[in-house]
Amino acid sequence: MGLDFVGQGAGQTDGNIITTTIDKVVNWGRKNSLWPMPFGTACCAIEMMATLASKFDLSRFGSEAIRFSPRQSDLLIVSGRISIKMMPVLKRIYDQMPDPKWVISMGACASCGGVFDTYTLIQGVDQFIPVDVYIPGCPPRPEDLIDAVLQVQQKITSGASPKGVEVIYE
Amino acid sequence: MNEEKEVEEQSKPLVLEKLETHHSDALLAQDEARGTIVVVVRKDQAYAVLEYLKTDPELAYTYLVDVTAVDNSQMESELMQFDYARFMVVYQLYSYQGQGRVRVKVPVHENDLSITSVTGLWQGANWLERETYDMFGINFDGHPDLRRILMPDDFEGHPLRKDYPLRGRGERERFNFDKQNV
């Protein structure tokens, strides 16, 4: 968790003092309450719904507070095909999310266009928005999405900036 | 002999019988495909035929199921059949009066891509004709709002035409974020 207990045997404190850094505490809070913004455009969204529902229960990892307003969320889950007409909408939603924000590109279509190698389909949303974690699969199983959320959590714990921030300050 | 002929005529679908009586000069061909009656109709009389199919009380094809088109430019045999008309606009109709389905096909030449809109007969034709315009570039005369429906407004070309490359002409790599109303 990144919190260090000190004070054992230090007299009157008796193990009740915790030393840490602000960053660590803030990141600990962030990682355990990621609020996802679902951008479900295809069958991956069905798996995402399953992940959020009782059987797979994403709330075990603190990410059950789905927000349909980008202004209230910090994790964008792109699950499905994105066409050239939809991409500006997705970009707008990404831009509306407050920093720091993370992006999961769920499934083959969002990550690389999948089997839809056609004139209208974006061949990977990472061409236009920064993606932190990719999930392979067509569609990926809910366990894969949970794994991706845990990877985002790991990323936050490690103190690494989201991909979006790196892009801004590069 | 006469009896047999009568039986044969009785088994002929009512819609073909009536079209032959009232619109024989509009009919280019008739066929049956998997149980659906198919009639090919001259373009200048297509609207009249469709109106007749809808308003005739016995036929009453009141439900327009679909409007679409076929690009036959790479089907030599299909092209030759109707005087090298590149496109075939297809109307699927359904009658709740027991007449079932009928498919009306209209050959459209590449040098004159306009055809009369049927939005006056079926309100539902509005979006179907917009889609056909978007994908094939068929112009529907008299349509109240003929603009693209699936592709972005600034898209160029008509992607379901056979000469349109499957992977496009680079639209998916370079398209304008600002131009579109998000």
Task: Please list, in sequence order, all residues whose beta carbon lies within 8 angstroms of the beta carbon of residue B121, skipping any fewer than 6 positions away.
Answer: B47, B50, B51, B54, B64
| Distance, CA of B51 to CA of B46 (rounded, Å) | 8
Contact B182 A92 (CB under 8 A): yes
Contacts of B167 in chain A (CB under 8 A): 117-119
Contacts of A92 in chain B (CB under 8 A): 182
Contact B169 A122 (CB under 8 A): no
Predicted local distance difference test score (pLDDT) of residue B1: 46
Q: Domain residues of chain A, as ranges?
A: 34-158
Predicted local distance difference test score (pLDDT) of residue B174: 73
| Distance, CA of B116 to CA of B157 (rounded, Å) | 22
Predicted local distance difference test score (pLDDT) of residue A64: 83
User: How many alpha carbons fall within 13 Å on the CB side of residue B16?
Assistant: 16
CATH of the domain at B93: 3.30.460.80
Which of B168, B173, B182 faces A88 most closely, judged by CB atoms?
A: B182
Contact B172 A123 (CB under 8 A): yes
Contact A122 B172 (CB under 8 A): yes
Residue B169 lies in a domain: no
B69 close to B106: Cβ distance less than 8 angstroms:
no
Mean pLDDT of the A135-147 span: 93
Residue B113 lies in a domain: yes
Q: pLDDT for A2-42, tens place per residue?
A: 555 554 555 555 667 778 888 888 888 888 989 999 999 99
Return the sign of the alpha-carbon dihedral for residues B128, B160, B70, A116: negative
Detail the DSSP E strand segments found in chain A: 4-6, 17-19, 36-40, 75-79, 102-106, 133-135
Is residue A105 classed as helix, strand or coil in its secondary structure? strand
Residue B93 lies in a domain: yes
Mean pLDDT of the A149-163 span: 87
Contact A88 B180 (CB under 8 A): yes
Give residue for tokens 């069958």.
A43
Q: Facing residues of A106 across strands?
A: A79, A135
Q: pLDDT for A112-135, tens place per residue?
A: 988 999 988 989 898 889 999 999
Give pLDDT < 50 ranges for chain B.
Answer: 1
Residue B148 lies in a domain: no
Q: pLDDT for B85-130, tens place per residue?
A: 889 999 999 999 888 899 999 999 988 899 999 999 999 999 999 9
CATH number for the region A34-158 comes to 3.40.50.12280
Predicted local distance difference test score (pLDDT) of residue B178: 63
Residue B27 distance to chain A (closest CA, Å): 38
% of chain A surpassing 90 pLDDT: 46
Residue B171 lies in a domain: no
Residue B74 lies in a domain: yes
Mean pLDDT of the A76-105 span: 91
| Distance, CA of B177 to CA of B152 (rounded, Å) | 11
H or E element: which one contains B93? Answer: strand B87-95
Residue B156 lies in a domain: no
Single-letter amino acid code for the residue at A131: V
Predicted local distance difference test score (pLDDT) of residue B118: 93
B20 close to B85: Cβ distance less than 8 angstroms:
no
Residue B167 lies in a domain: no
Predicted local distance difference test score (pLDDT) of residue A11: 54
Which of A118, A122, A127 faces B166 most closely, judged by CB atoms?
A: A118
Residue A123 in tokens: 């061949």
Please spell the DSSP secondary structure of B109-169, one letter per residue: -TT--EEE--TTT-TTHHHHHHHHHHHH--EEET-TT---SSS-TT--S-TTSTTS-TTTT
Q: Facing residues of A45 across strands?
A: none
Q: How many domains does chain B have?
A: 1
Range of the domain at B42: 8-141
Angle between helices A43-52 and A142-157 (to 10 degrees): 70
Mean pLDDT of the A134-148 span: 93
Residue A54 in tokens: 């009782």
| Distance, CA of B165 to CA of B23 (rounded, Å) | 40
